[in-house]
Chains A and B, each alone.
Chain A
Amino acid sequence: MFDDFIIRAFVAGIGLALITGPLGCFIIWRRLSYFGDTIAHSALLGVVIAYAMNFNLIIAVFAVSCFIALSLLFLQKRTNLPDDALLGLLAHSVLAIGLVLLGIVSFIRIDLMGLLFGDILSVNITDVLFVWVGGSIVLIVLILIWRPLFAATVNLELAKAEGLNADLANAIFTILIASVIAISIKIVGILLITGLLIIPAAASRNLSSTPIQMAIISSVIGLVSVVLGLQTSMIWNSPTGPTILAIALGVFILTLIPLKKLLISKKKIELSN
C-alpha cells in the first residue's frame, strides 16, 4: 500500500512538524509571524539563484534568508521605521527582485505552483536527509539557547541585565528560522510555511499552561496534522500542503472547545447528585 515516495513524504513531513512546533511557539510569543512571511517571500530569490547557478536549492534559500534577516537587523538600527514597515519593504522588494531575475534568466523553468504550495510527494532522499539532519541541528541549538532566548522573549532588558547573552540568542534564533524555512520549501512551499509554524503553536496555546508544554504539544499537533493531512490528501486527491494546514486548522478549532470546563462542570453535577 505504501509506495516509496509516500513513506518519504511521511518521514519528511513528520520531521518538519517536530521542528516547527517549538519554533512556531517562539514566533507567536515574539509576535514575529510577519517575519516568517518575509523570510518565506524572499525565498523565491534563493530558488531562482539556485536554478540559475545550478546550486543546491536548500542551501541557496538558506543563504538568501540569512541575508534578509541580517538586512532587517541592520535596517532596524539605521532607520526610525517600525518593524512591520521594514518587513513589508523587505518582503515585497525581494519578492519583486526574485520575479525580475526569473524573467531575465529565461532558460529557467520553475514549477511555480510547487514552489508556492510545496509538493511533499516529490521529496527525494536528499530532502529527507536535509529535514532530519538539519532539523536535529536546529532542535539541538534551540535547546541550547532556550534559557537566554526565552528570558529575552519575556523581557529583553531583564535578560541582559542579569548577564544572559540575549543579543546572541536573538541572532541565532533568526538563523534558525531561516534554516527551517529553507528546509521546508519543498514540503509546504513558501506561501504556507508560516501557517505550519503558527497554526499548531496557536492550537497548543489553548491547551497548555507552561512554555515547555506549549512547545511539546505544538510539535504533537503538527505531527498529527501532517499524518492526517497526508492520508486525507491521498483519499481525496487534494494538494498535500494545503490539506495538512486545513487539518491543523481543524485541530485549532477543536482546541477552542473548553474541555476542562466541561469536565469540571460534569464532575460538579455528579458530586451534587
Chain B
Amino acid sequence: MNNSLVELNNCGVFRNQKWLVRGVSLKVSQGEIVTLIGPNGSGKSTTAKMSLDILKPDEGTNTIKKDIRISYVPQKISIDWSLPLRSIDFVNLVTKHKTSEINDALGITGIQHLINEDVRNLSGGEFQRLLMARAIAKEPHFLVLDEPVQGVDYSGEIALYKTIQEIVKKINCGILLISHNLHVVMSQTDYVICLNGHVCCSGIPSSVIKDQEYIKLFGSNIDPTLSLYKHNHDHHHLPDGSIKEANKNK
C-alpha cells in the first residue's frame, strides 16, 4: 500500500444512459508495468482517464498519491494549425526543462535532430516519439501510456517498448500501459488487466493467457509474430533491388 501510486477501487463511468466501464479495480506501484488490453470500446482509455483523475468515476473511488509527478501520453492529440509550436516548446508544455534534459529525452526516443522542427511537420510516428520524449523528460513517478507506439515503424516499436522498460528501471516509476501488441504485453508486463466493459480477467501474464475469458477475446494464439501471413508472389526481386513483375515476361 505504501508504495502504490494510483488505486482504482471498483470504479465505473456512466455516460449517456450506459456504463462505459464498470467495476474496475487496479493498483499501480512504483517500478511496475500494469497493462490494459481489450477490444475497441472496452473502456481502456476511460479507465486510464480515471487513473489520472481527468474523469471522475460515477461509482467507486480513485486514489492518487499526493505530490507525485504524472506524465500522460494520450491516444489522440491534434495540434491546431494556428499554433506555432516547435518540438522543444512541446516538451516544455507543462514543465520547463533545461535544454540538455530535452536533448536527452529526445535522444532516448530517437528524434534529437528534430528539436527545433515545427510540430506540424513531424510525421505520425515522429510525433508519437515526441509525445514519449515529453513524458520521459518530466521523470514522472506515474506514467500513463495510451497506445504509445501507434504509427511507429516496426523496429521503432520494439525499440520504444525497450525504452519504456529502461525508463521503469532508471527512474523507478509506475506505468499504466494500454497496448494492442499482445506479444509485447505478455513478455514485458508485470500485471495484465483484460477489459471488456468490465474486468474479464487479470493477473500475471502467464496466468492470464490460460484464462477462458482471455481466450474467448483474443484466441489461443497469443503470439502474433508466429501467425502466418500468406501472399502470392506476383513479382521477382532482381539483384539490384528493383522489382520485375512476374506476369509481364519482358
Contact = CB atoms under 8 A, between A and B. Distances in A.
Most buried by A among B53, B70, B77, B84: B84
B72 interface: yes
Contacts of B83: 29, 153-154, 211
Contact of A157 (B72, B80, B82): B72
B70 A163 contact: yes
Given A31-B80, A158-B94, A164-B94, A209 B86 contact: yes
Nearest to B119: A154
Interface in B77-133: 77, 79-80, 82-86, 89-90, 93-95, 118
Contact of B52 (A31, A150, A161, A213): A161
A208 B90 CA distance: 16
A155 B85 contact: no
Nearest to A150: B93
Using C-beta atoms within 8 Å of the partner chain, give the interface range for chain B. Answer: 20 to 34
A4 interface: no
A28 B56 CA distance: 30
B72 to A, nearest CB: 4
A79 interface: no
A161 B86 CA distance: 22
A29 B80 CA distance: 7
Contacts, number: 66
Given A151-B94, A158-B94, A213 B84 contact: yes
Nearest to B92: A147
Contact of A161 (B79, B82, B84, B144): B144
Interface string A194-224: 0000000000010011110110000000000
Given A154-B79, A155-B74, A164-B94, A210 B54 contact: no
A28 B82 contact: yes
A162 B72 contact: yes
Contacts of B138: 162
B84 A205 contact: yes
Contacts of B85: 154, 210-211
Nearest to A157: B54
Contacts of A163: 70, 94
B180 interface: no
A124 B20 CA distance: 59
Contacts of A92: none
A159 interface: yes
Nearest to A159: B94
A160 interface: yes
Given A31-B80, A162-B94, A164-B94, A157 B74 contact: yes
Interface residues of A, number: 24
A155 B77 contact: yes
A162 B118 CA distance: 23
B71 A208 contact: no
Contacts of A157: 49, 54, 72, 74
A210 B94 contact: no
Most buried by B among A31, A147, A153, A154: A154
Contacts of A164: 94
A9 to B, nearest CB: 31
A169 to B, nearest CB: 12
Nearest to B71: A162
Contacts of A160: 52-54
Contact of B70 (A147, A162, A211, A213): A162
Interface of A: 28-29, 31, 147, 150-151, 153-155, 157-164, 205, 208-211, 213-214
Given A154-B79, A161-B74, 11 more contacts: A153-B83, A154-B85, A157-B54, A158-B77, A158-B93, A161-B70, A162-B94, A208-B84, A209-B118, A210-B86, A213-B84
Shortest Cβ-Cβ A-B pairs, 7 listed: A161-B72, A161-B52, A162-B94, A28-B82, A151-B93, A160-B54, A209-B84
Interface of B: 49, 52-54, 70-72, 74, 77, 79-80, 82-86, 89-90, 93-95, 118, 138, 144
